[in-house]
Structure 1
Amino acid sequence: MAEAESAGRPLGGPQSGSSGCAGPVRSRIAVNDLLNILVVDDNPDDRALIRREISREFPNCQFGQATNPRELSQSMGAAGWDLAVTDFQLRWTDGIAVLLGVKARGPDCPVIMFTGSGNEEIAVQAMKAGLDDYVLKSPRHYARLASAVHMALERARQRKALREAETRYHSLFDDVPVGLFRIVQDGKFVDANPALTEMLGYPDRESLLAAETMNLFVDAKQRRAFLLALKRTGMIRLFEAQFYRRDGRIIWAETNARVIRNDREGTTYYEGSLEDITMRKDAERALRESEARKGAILNSAIDAIITIDERGRITEFNPAAEKMFGRVRADVVNQELAEVLIPLSLRDKHRRGLERYLATGQDVMLGRRVELTAMRADGKEFPVELAITRVDLGGPPLFTGFVRDITERKRAEKQLRDSREQLRALAAYLQSVREEERSRIAREVHDELGQALTGLKMDLAWLDKKIAEVGTTDELRQSEEKLKELPARVDTIIATVRKIATELRPPVLDDLGLQAAIEWQIQEFEKRTGISCRFHSGLKHLDLDQERATAVFRIFQETLTNIVRHAQATQVNIYLREESDKLILEVQDNGRGMTGRELSGTRSLGLLGMRERATVLDGEVNIIGRQGKGTTVGVRIPIQRSAESQKK
């Protein structure tokens, strides 16, 4: 076993964890570093000399020694030598063999030949075999031994650092997901990494290196622009071009490249990166198409389309909005919507609503159509219909409003309301005319026809008296009998005429008022139908104008008619009262109850007429039917006193 010494202390070999022939060389050499040095020499004096000279420069050294083949073999098997010093002329071998053995076990371990024999030829041979230095064993060269050790260790460190850098470079070159390349001026690939090989669709690196790089450009103009930029500036960045893959498919790629000149070799290279940006280009194209569609929609939309950000500032304002509000897009973008489009009285409400939504996420306007008031550039307010939707693009929310000017619609709605009011007025007028006509007919039937029949009766009585005075014959007796029958017939005619007149318009309505007319109608209804009625009146004295009294009475008559026709009732309760300057009439029956379908069906024209009568007078008719529990008709009419009552 080789003897190990360190500044006179025995060693068992290299320290565990140190670097050397079979391990990594130190990245930095300092005089205080712990070094493991193997000395191969069969002369003990020379070994001592080596230890002494090296320890002067590196005091913290550990030495191992080999004086025969067995010790050398054992020392070679031990890892961790930082340096080997060998003699050339050994009894069992020579320094060249030792050098080769050390390099075979540890290529990075520097070897210095310290010898008194040999010549220049041997030195050259050894240097070619990997020897780091050659020092002669002569007193005037002893001092150079430590320097040679230092230089050998430094060169070993540099070689290791270079190799590690190259390893890192190749690892990065091979593993980076971006295509990397190096080409010469004639367009031939010198190198290419796996990412580029895969990007361009080649099966292996060799296939790609055989390709002509200039043929990869789809557009010759792009190729010329690429080369021209490199020649002019020596560098090109973010150059986008289309390239052919091996399968003929076209991809978009972004290139960064620079010119590398090797003056020693007299060559020029182009090296750089190629990144596939096809997906980005597709996304950009899709975005452009989307923007084009959006622009087409915005520009052709009939409705105004306005987008605001979370602070209420306008970000989009389409041509329809320009026309509607009388403002130019460039003037309103980045302006607060509330300041330019919303009336002053509504601005605070708008701002509070936006703040509340951003704080709570709750808003009653999103997803609904609402009617609001907007403001034109000249300050004029106009009605709009607004629908708002939230737009999320990964940042603060945006809000897009679709605005429709409903000025014409509102005008049409007003015209429709006016038309309906006119129709109601016409209906009221026709109703009034009809009532007047009924009254006139009733007067004529009662006065003229009644008077005529009464005169006829008087004449017949006189005639009867005269015939009785003449004497009797068979013919006269028969005539007398006939004449005696005529008064009874005339009485029947008079009663019929009075009945018709009363049904056309009961005199009691004009003479005694609504309450008396209702009581009379109830009596007539009970006589005609046999249905029991109870009348409850909370009125002490009510003198309605003729129009309202007539309307309520006719509604009451229609209600009783419906009860007879449809209700199958046996009991009717009638309530008449005054509440808050309104006349209330309620009619409740215990019949089968009207259904919702019956209330809205085609047979409900009578009910519609009742409602129309009330509507004309700003009143209302409510009908509630519960199946099996009867029907309630409620009439509510604003009270307007008669002219005579108002005078009182």
Structure 2
Amino acid sequence: MNLLASQNGLHLSWRVYPNQNALDAAVERDEVDVAPGMQQTPATLRHWLFSLPYLRVPHKLVGFRAESADVVELDRLALNERLAIDQSSDAWQFVERNYPELTRLPARSDRQAVQAVEQQRAQYAIVDEAQLALLFKEPAFSNLAVVGDIGDTRLLRLAVRKDWPELPALLDQALSQLPPERLEKIRATWLRPNYPRLLDTIVFWQRLTLALTIAALLALGLWRRQRRARRHAEARLLSAWQELETRNATEAELRLSQFSIDNSTVGILWVSWDSRIRYANRTAERMLGYAQGALLARRLAELEPLLDSHTWLDAWNRLRTNHEIQSFETQCRRLDGQPLAVSVTLSFLQFGRAEYLVVYLNDITERYMARAALAESEARYKSMAANVPGMVFRLETPQAGEPPRLAFVGAASQHLLGYPAQTVQGWSQGWRQAVDEADLPGYLAAWHQAVDEARDWRWQGRLRHRDGHSNWVDLRASVRRFDDGRRVWDGIVWDISQNKHHELQLAESRSQLRSLAAHLESVREEEKARIAREVHDELGQILTVLRLETSMCELGFAHLDTKLAERLGNMKKLIESTFQIVRDVASALRPPVLDAGLGSAIEWQARRFESRTGIACLVSVPDTPLHLDDTQAIGLFRILQEALTNVLRHAEAATVSIGLSAEARRVSLSIADDGKGFQPERQPAGRSFGLVGMRERVWLLGGELQIDSQPGQGTTLLVRLPVDCREEIQ
């Protein structure tokens, strides 16, 4: 793994997990990307994708150093000889399946299995060759050696998380590019089988010592007479010994080769020209469900029903002539009649005068099922995309640095744009050529922001239909980033034309309502001013005449009758109180002090509020009067009245600060209290008509209203109106 990382510029961060379940749980939480040394099983396929095998680790038979160099085979073990095996390993299942008659001693690890042999509780142990290379480095196991091979091999693969389907192929390519000499060096470092050699046996040294002693005695006795004969005899003896050793080694290699072929992970068939099977290894027999030797002399057509004699002869002649290798996938028929998905590779072989077609079979049931599941998933995805009430799309960058392109467009493009999905998929920059000209700047800004900054894509605008009309759409896409620099946006385009139409109608209706409210407010203020003038002028004149007539009666007749004088005095008091009521009504309708300027009106209202409630008011207004138009002045004055009413009702304040200021093109009115405060965003609906009224007044005047308040910190209300009062300020 370090070699792969260094050659591909990767950084590895290692994590250790106690068991397979913990590792499977970790990959489900996206904590693990790649796991080396994994075996492909139905259980692990639920969580991982796998590379091709990168290491074959055989299981070795371990025992005490024997007096002879013979290789021990499981077939020749006595029934009373015990085998110590890690019960959780593949070797246990292998021996249990293939040699059920042997006596097995379960162990919890390879170390315990070797210790059982060292402690003579078992005659042999079956151990993983990689673990054995580490254990033999320990002095405690120096008396043990490898005495045989059981023929079972662990195929180690690289496991990859399932949401990275491209990574296994990349790892296979990287593994194939590793230098063979480096791999051989790594294998020699970590996997050093300790087979018994002839020089390690005691019998060899005993016999050799005896032979050398006899030879030495004979040499001493016949040194002069048989010197040449002795040398010739020694040469012949050495030659015979080497020939015998070579023959034994060759036979062992042949047996090992035959055993490896018989138990290969690939099914192998040798087929003669008449399509009859001449050889089948155990893997092929197990794969097809046949007993050992049951496939011999059968025709290949029994395994492939679609293979007739003409097709077979054509394939035989073509491969025999061209010596090419042909690969394809098909489904064979097992002995029980069930189909078996296999990958078939055919090659022509000539051995002596015999000619064969070698058939290599790989069980691809898992790949076939995965492919079927993928096809079903794609069909389900396309079906879902076609039934979603919107146009589903996928935008991706093929490689880092390249402009993104549409990789998938849903069938809803026909309804939304009038073009089929294949046509839309070839457009550049998404739907740029269908964007309405008025919305194109906003679309390009959203596009560049999403692409350049690798952010989610959000946009609302109009897309032109093929027939010329435009549809309002809402585009939303989420971005996914990959380690190789690629980025993918998965999103949907909703047709919001009807909602947008209702929204525009609602906005227009709201604008009309506000215009109507502004007109009604203007009419109301004009009516109040008119009523105030009539009350002041008409009632004022009548009350003045009544007060004059009452005074004349008092001068003329009060001295004649004391009771009459008392009544006239009461009438004068009643007339004066009526005068005050008239003045209050007129002031309430439209304070006359507004004619003196907004600043004077604010001071008058503050003093009146202070005298009526006892709440101290601090007023700050410009020294120079601001001559605003009546609409603005009355609007600000009404806002002040409503704010002071709210202070009296809700604030429980002791002091109110009122400020009026003006700039070149803006006048500001602020009302601040030291009351209990509140949270403006949490005001319940239907309980804040005062605030709603103030906001509407400010909106009608073209200004803005700002409310700052927190519980226990008082409330500040700030109104800003755009005006041109430079002349008045000067």
Quick one: structure 1 residues 538 and 225, their matched pair in 2 at CA, closer, same or farther if it must change by over 3 Å?
farther
**Are positions 1:456 and 2:542 aligned together?**
no
Quick one: structure 1 residues 568 and 201, their matched pair in 2 at CA, closer, same or farther if it must change by over 3 Å?
same
Segment drifting more, 400-409 vs 248-257: 400-409
Q: 1:314 aligns with which of 403, 406, 421?
A: 406
Shift of 1:581: 1.2
**Between Structure 1 and Structure 2, how many residues are aligned?**
493
Residues of 2 paired with 1:567 and 1:543: CA distance? Answer: 32
Mapped contact 2:659–2:669 kept (Cα < 8 A):
yes
Structure with greater Cα Rg: 1
Mapped contact 2:621–2:659 kept (Cα < 8 A):
yes
Q: 2:365 aligns with which of 270, 278, 281?
A: 278
Mapped contact 1:391–1:400 kept (Cα < 8 A):
no
Residues of 1 paired with 2:461 and 2:499: CA distance? Answer: 13
Shift of 1:553: 0.2
Q: 1:420 aligns with which of 510, 517, 522?
A: 510
Q: 1:623 aligns with which of 680, 685, 707?
A: 707
Structure 1 segments unaligned to the other structure (5+ residues): 1-16, 18-46, 52-61, 67-73, 84-102, 110-159, 358-362
Deviations 1:404-432 (A, max 9, x none): 45555555444333333222222222222
Match in the other structure for 2:270:
182
Q: 1:505 aligns with which of 590, 602, 609?
A: 590
Deviations 1:282-306 (A, max 9, x none): 1221222122223323444422524
Shift of 1:578: 0.3
What amino acid is aligned across from residue 633 of structure 2 in structure 1?
A
What do you get for the CA RMSD once the two structures are aligned?
4.7
Q: 2:626 aligns with which of 538, 542, 546?
A: 542
What amino acid is aligned across from residue 382 of structure 2 in structure 1?
G
SS of corresponding position for 2:678: coil
**Are positions 1:195 and 2:283 aligned together?**
yes
Residues of 1 paired with 2:496 and 2:310: CA distance? Answer: 58
Deviations 1:301-356 (A, max 9, x none): 42252434342333333333355445554455555336756778689868866774
Deviations 1:60-110 (A, max 9, x none): xx99656xxxxxxx887x332499xxxxxxxxxxxxxxxxxxx9x68979x
**Are positions 1:79 and 2:164 aligned together?**
no
Deviations 1:144-186 (A, max 9, x none): xxxxxxxxxxxxxxxx99x899779746633542211135688
What amino acid is aligned across from residue 369 of structure 2 in structure 1?
D
**Are positions 1:303 and 2:402 aligned together?**
no
**Are positions 1:516 and 2:606 aligned together?**
no
Mapped contact 1:388–1:402 kept (Cα < 8 A):
no
**Are positions 1:526 and 2:606 aligned together?**
no
What amino acid is aligned across from residue 517 of structure 1 in structure 2?
A
Mapped contact 2:396–2:489 kept (Cα < 8 A):
yes
Match in the other structure for 1:242:
331
Quick one: structure 1 residues 623 and 337, their matched pair in 2 at CA, closer, same or farther if it must change by over 3 Å?
closer
Quick one: structure 1 residues 499 and 534, their matched pair in 2 at CA, closer, same or farther if it must change by over 3 Å?
same
Mapped contact 1:370–1:387 kept (Cα < 8 A):
no
Residues of 2 paired with 1:536 and 1:274: CA distance? Answer: 98
Match in the other structure for 2:479:
389
Quick one: structure 1 residues 603 and 275, their matched pair in 2 at CA, closer, same or farther if it must change by over 3 Å?
same
Deviations 1:419-451 (A, max 9, x none): 332222222222222222222222222222232
Shift of 1:558: 1.1
**Are positions 1:482 and 2:598 aligned together?**
no
Match in the other structure for 2:531:
441
Deviations 1:496-537 (A, max 9, x none): 12112212211111x212111111111211211122222111
Match in the other structure for 2:374:
287
**Are positions 1:173 and 2:261 aligned together?**
yes
Quick one: structure 1 residues 290 and 433, their matched pair in 2 at CA, closer, same or farther if it must change by over 3 Å?
same
What amino acid is aligned across from residue 320 of structure 1 in structure 2?
A
Quick one: structure 1 residues 520 and 333, their matched pair in 2 at CA, closer, same or farther if it must change by over 3 Å?
closer
Q: 2:428 aligns with which of 326, 336, 339?
A: 336
Match in the other structure for 1:117:
none
Mapped contact 2:269–2:360 kept (Cα < 8 A):
yes
Deviations 1:546-580 (A, max 9, x none): 11101100111111112222222222222111024
Shift of 1:200: 2.1
What amino acid is aligned across from residue 429 of structure 1 in structure 2?
H
Mapped contact 2:474–2:496 kept (Cα < 8 A):
yes
What amino acid is aligned across from residue 285 of structure 2 in structure 1?
T
Mapped contact 1:582–1:639 kept (Cα < 8 A):
yes
Mapped contact 1:306–1:318 kept (Cα < 8 A):
no
Match in the other structure for 1:592:
676
What amino acid is aligned across from residue 512 of structure 1 in structure 2?
A
Shift of 1:252: 0.7
Mapped contact 1:598–1:604 kept (Cα < 8 A):
no
Residues of 2 paired with 1:345 and 1:564: CA distance? Answer: 51
What amino acid is aligned across from residue 523 of structure 2 in structure 1?
V
User: 1:8-407 maps to which residues of 2 (within 5 A)?
Assistant: 65=232, 78-81=237-240, 170=258, 173-183=261-271, 189-202=277-290, 204-209=291-296, 214-217=301-304, 220-221=305-306, 227=312, 230=315, 233=318, 237-246=326-335, 249-257=338-346, 271-301=358-388, 302-310=390-398, 311-312=402-403, 313-331=405-423, 333=425, 336-337=428-429, 340=433, 356=452, 363=454, 365-366=455-456, 369-371=458-460, 384-390=474-480, 396-406=486-496
Structure 2 segments unaligned to the other structure (5+ residues): 1-198, 200-225
Identical aligned pairs, as a percentage?
A: 32
SS of corresponding position for 1:623: strand
Residues of 2 paired with 1:395 and 1:514: CA distance? Answer: 65
What amino acid is aligned across from residue 500 of structure 1 in structure 2?
V
Segment drifting more, 326-335 vs 566-575: 326-335
Match in the other structure for 1:90:
none
What amino acid is aligned across from residue 79 of structure 1 in structure 2?
L
What amino acid is aligned across from residue 303 of structure 1 in structure 2?
M
Residues of 2 paired with 1:282 and 1:356: CA distance? Answer: 40
Residues of 1 paired with 2:348 and 2:713: CA distance? Answer: 101
Quick one: structure 1 residues 228 and 454, their matched pair in 2 at CA, closer, same or farther if it must change by over 3 Å?
farther
Residues of 2 paired with 1:507 and 1:571: CA distance? Answer: 26
Deviations 1:459-507 (A, max 9, x none): 44445566569xx6xxx66455434422221221121121122122111
